[in-house]
Structure 1
Amino acid sequence: MLGAPVGDRDDDARGSPVAAPSSPRELVLACADLLHRGDVDGARRVVDVLLSGADPRGDAADRLAHHFARALARRIDDKGVDAPAGAAPTPSPSPSAYLAYNQIAPFLRFAHLTANQAILDAAANSVARRVHIVDLDVAHGVQWPPLLQAIADSADPAVGPPEVRITGAGPNRDVLLRTGDRLRAFASSLNLPFRFHPLLLPCTAQLADDPTTVLELHPGETLAVNCVLFLHKLGCEGELATFLKWVKSMNPTVVTIAEREASIGGDYTEELPRRVAAAKDYYSAVFDALEATVPPGSADRLAVEHEVLGKEINAALAPGRTGEHVRGFEAWAAAARGAGLSPQPLSAFAVSQARLLLRLHYPSEGYVAEEVRGACFLGWQTRPLMSVSSWQ
């Protein structure tokens, strides 16, 4: 564990050591405070202590400290300046890490399952024979095979299943094309009429000018806009409000929103120590959950922490326009209402499905799923970690 002394901001040029915090958490917060006060040299010394002492293969506290140290080191190296507006986005996790995350942690499957049920409920209550899903972050498309299977299984044999079309958005054309190929092959195996349209982002200007043309919206279809782990990638409050108003302008049958339950702002006007403390609070619970439910030394867990959670921590601590804006459910709900969307409480079946998912695939007394304020929350012990809600 950590305990080496580090210099504070008043050290002279020789860097004489003084008494310093000893726990990984204290060192991370001390580094954030030094950076906030402009003591880059002092912050770099603390980061060096963290990186030399926090074992990335150790216990949850050490592994978490290691990833926070890497994120802070990256911020120091970038000199805390805003990234240009056209800067490349953070690379997506590899398919293997993404699938491993799905297997060892319930967050993605919980979000996908609960959002899918809201879409199925909306389609069941519609007379339309076409279902169009606009997925703003389709990635590898793992959310959609269960939904396609459910639509095929519930179809009336006399008329057959409805046509399903997915507009899948993302920043990588090759990934989108491979995702479309996999989904088309799966739908074909079900004899389900299916189309996939790749939408390369960013294309904000074109979408704002004429979303009907770009998205091929048609009257008489059940339109679902899927925002699973997407809204936090938008910039300031104004960009979020503009996006949600654009969604509302399409008159969707259902809008699904799934986000992490945290308050981690990416705005450079928010003090870095506060952002780091909020991120530490959230990711401490995530790392504790993985520590309690995944076997020691798991290669999958290390890959997930490096390629998924580590990148999330980098994004949460990044300065300026590169930072993410993770809010709690109340903030997302207020933004949705402000855009004219109305809450649609999730069905009791959706909540019971979420609980069954935890019991069958992530058996631990620590994970909890419950319905609160019309949304479904996933938590670890008493700490909410994710919410899923439905809007119209």
Structure 2
Amino acid sequence: MLSSLSSHEEEENPDHHNHPNPPRGFASSPGNHMRQLLISCAELISQSDFPAARRVVSLLSTTSSPYGDSTDRLIHQFSRALSIRLNRRRTFHNLISSSTATSSTSTPISNPTSIQSSYLSLNQITPFIRFSHLTANQAILDAIEGQSSIHILDFDTMQGVQWPPLMQAIAERSPNPPKIRITGTGHDFETLQRTGERLQKFAQSLGLNFFFHPLQIQDDPSSAAFHLPSSIILLPNETLAINCVLYLHKLLRDDSRDVRLFLRAIKAMNPKVVTVAEREANHNHPIFLQRFMEALEYYTAMFESLEATVPPNSQERLAVEQVWFGKEISNIVAAEGEERRERHERFESWVEIMRSSGFSNVPLSPFALSQAKLLLRLHYPSEGYQLQLMNDSFFLGWQNKTLFSVSSWQ
């Protein structure tokens, strides 16, 4: 179950000096020492000892680097996020608009172009997004077998990189492929239009009867939950598939009410299949320190996987870590209330939410498992990546840490 969040912010108390100083003189590696300082800084913040926390974060900021090893780069991003949290407190009463508040917890390199570019790099240099797309696509292919017209409702389409492989698979499996219509949703209408144009050209090259409908939705879960059904054109002869890859967590707020309303709304559309992919982490904990520790463990595994599989001088890795992961880490660590959007939950929470919203788990096929294994073997041939099948769903992680889950529902 999801925990309720408290909107209460810790009050800064300059006269509070009852907490111990950060530990010194560790008989361990410099990386472990810096990591412990990072945790100590988070503990000081949770104890409202903000002056001491600022001294520690200042030390961390000057001694860590985005160009070192994985531990150094991780500490750099987390110390930066802690600094943003501390600075946000300092300027909180001077904020004059919600847009200013939002920018205070964003990454400096946060223009739409750099974010989109870093997402494409993430898709290339790590297997996690491609694994999610490939597995969701196979679940959709299995569900639409034999249908003459399909409609895919895709939430948070972005550049639409998930769909060319699906189109190619559809074109190759039948001499008379079905009509395909994708309703792509997002917050930027121009991006959606460009995505639709690219997909349309690709579909034409395959000889597919394809149509893309861009649908701009507000960055507001209640808007999506209450107004979505009237915004979607559903045709009686179409088989509907709904794709929620790394999307549902964005609808979470203080509780799961909004996401349940959303799921019940799409349940009423009677889809043949609903695909869900999410990060396997609890970054939605209401207590800051527990959320921080969970995020630190999760992104340690992500950074270590990049360290082991991507060249040290890779500009793509730098973009992924500084822009994409940096944006996520800053939001998890520095933001509170409505500003906090990266509210990832573990698979068992999504199972409870999906079932209570009227959905049943559909086992992913053995062929989907073979495809996922082939993806790892051909493109990411590191023994560190671990693929598991549990509860009829797939989980991909690094070493002993599970990082992503993909499941199918109806």
Q: Normalising to structure 1: TM-score of the pair? A: 0.89
Structure 2: stretches of 5+ with no match in the other structure: 1-14, 27-32
Task: After TM superposition, give the deviation of residue 20 of structure 1 in Å.
Answer: 4.1
Letter in 2 for 1:101: L
Indicate the residue corresponding to 1:187 in structure 2.
Answer: 203
1:381 to 1:95, Cα distance in 2 relative to 1, 3 A:
same
Q: Does 1:65 align with 2:75?
A: yes
1:163 to 1:60, Cα distance in 2 relative to 1, 3 A:
same
Render the CA deviation track for 1:298-344: whole Å, top value 9, x for unaligned. Answer: 11111110111111111222211222211111111111001010100
**Among residues 209, 216, 221, which one is paired with 2:233 in the alignment?**
216
Letter in 2 for 1:310: G
Render the CA deviation track for 1:254-312: whole Å, top value 9, x for unaligned. Answer: 000001111111x6xx2211111000111101111111111112111111101111111
Task: After TM superposition, give the deviation of residue 128 of structure 1 in Å.
Answer: 3.3
Indicate the residue corresponding to 2:275 in structure 1.
Answer: 256
Between 97-106 and 82-91, the greater mean CA deviation after superposition: 82-91
Indicate the residue corresponding to 2:137 in structure 1.
Answer: 116
Q: Does 1:374 align with 2:392?
A: yes
Indicate the residue corresponding to 2:242 in structure 1.
Answer: 225
Structure 2: distance between partners of 1:204 and 1:232: 10
**Among residues 297, 317, 320, which one is paired with 1:281 in the alignment?**
297
Structure 1: distance between partners of 2:205 and 2:189: 25
Task: After TM superposition, give the deviation of residue 9 of structure 1 in Å.
Answer: 6.0
Task: After TM superposition, give the deviation of residue 201 of structure 1 in Å.
Answer: 2.0
Q: Does 1:163 align with 2:173?
A: no
Letter in 1 for 2:371: Q
Render the CA deviation track for 1:195-224: whole Å, top value 9, x for unaligned. Answer: 111111217666545544411012231111
Check whether the contact 2:149–2:179 (CA below 8 A) recurs between aligned residues.
yes
Q: Normalising to structure 2: TM-score of the pair? A: 0.85
The within-5 A match list for 1:36-75 is 36-75=46-85
Q: Does 1:35 align with 2:51?
A: no
Structure 2: distance between partners of 1:205 and 1:388: 25
Structure 1: stretches of 5+ with no match in the other structure: 1-7
Indicate the residue corresponding to 1:132 in structure 2.
Answer: 151
1:35 to 1:254, Cα distance in 2 relative to 1, 3 A:
same
Check whether the contact 2:200–2:211 (CA below 8 A) recurs between aligned residues.
yes
Check whether the contact 1:75–1:319 (CA below 8 A) recurs between aligned residues.
no
Render the CA deviation track for 1:2-33: whole Å, top value 9, x for unaligned. Answer: xxxxxx96299xxx977548622212221222
Where 1:108 maps in the other structure, the secondary structure is helix
Letter in 2 for 1:320: G
Q: CA RMSD in A?
A: 2.6
Indicate the residue corresponding to 1:304 in structure 2.
Answer: 320
Where 1:250 maps in the other structure, the secondary structure is coil
Q: How many pairs align?
A: 375
Where 1:300 maps in the other structure, the secondary structure is helix
Structure 2: distance between partners of 1:351 and 1:173: 35
Percentage identity across paired residues of the two chains: 48
Check whether the contact 1:21–1:27 (CA below 8 A) recurs between aligned residues.
no
**Among residues 9, 17, 41, which one is paired with 1:10 in the alignment?**
17
- Large movers: runs of 4+ above 6 Å: 80-87
Render the CA deviation track for 1:59-84: whole Å, top value 9, x for unaligned. Answer: 11110011011111111222196998
Structure 2: distance between partners of 1:21 and 1:164: 63
**Among residues 367, 382, 385, which one is paired with 1:349 in the alignment?**
367
Where 1:166 maps in the other structure, the secondary structure is strand
Letter in 1 for 2:89: K
Structure 1: distance between partners of 2:222 and 2:70: 43
Task: After TM superposition, give the deviation of residue 351 of structure 1 in Å.
Answer: 0.9
Indicate the residue corresponding to 1:332 in structure 2.
Answer: 350
Task: After TM superposition, give the deviation of residue 356 of structure 1 in Å.
Answer: 0.7
Indicate the residue corresponding to 1:3 in structure 2.
Answer: none
Where 2:370 maps in the other structure, the secondary structure is helix
Structure 1: distance between partners of 2:280 and 2:301: 11
The within-5 A match list for 1:21-32 is 23-32=33-42
The within-5 A match list for 1:91-102 is 93-102=114-123
Indicate the residue corresponding to 2:256 in structure 1.
Answer: 237
Check whether the contact 2:123–2:130 (CA below 8 A) recurs between aligned residues.
yes
Check whether the contact 1:128–1:220 (CA below 8 A) recurs between aligned residues.
no
Where 2:362 maps in the other structure, the secondary structure is coil
Where 2:318 maps in the other structure, the secondary structure is helix
Q: Does 1:246 align with 2:253?
A: no
Between 337-346 and 45-54, the greater mean CA deviation after superposition: 45-54
1:18 to 1:316, Cα distance in 2 relative to 1, 3 A:
closer
Structure 2: distance between partners of 1:302 and 1:211: 37
Indicate the residue corresponding to 1:144 in structure 2.
Answer: 163
Task: After TM superposition, give the deviation of residue 138 of structure 1 in Å.
Answer: 0.4
Letter in 2 for 1:284: T
Indicate the residue corresponding to 1:4 in structure 2.
Answer: none
Structure 1: distance between partners of 2:151 and 2:238: 7
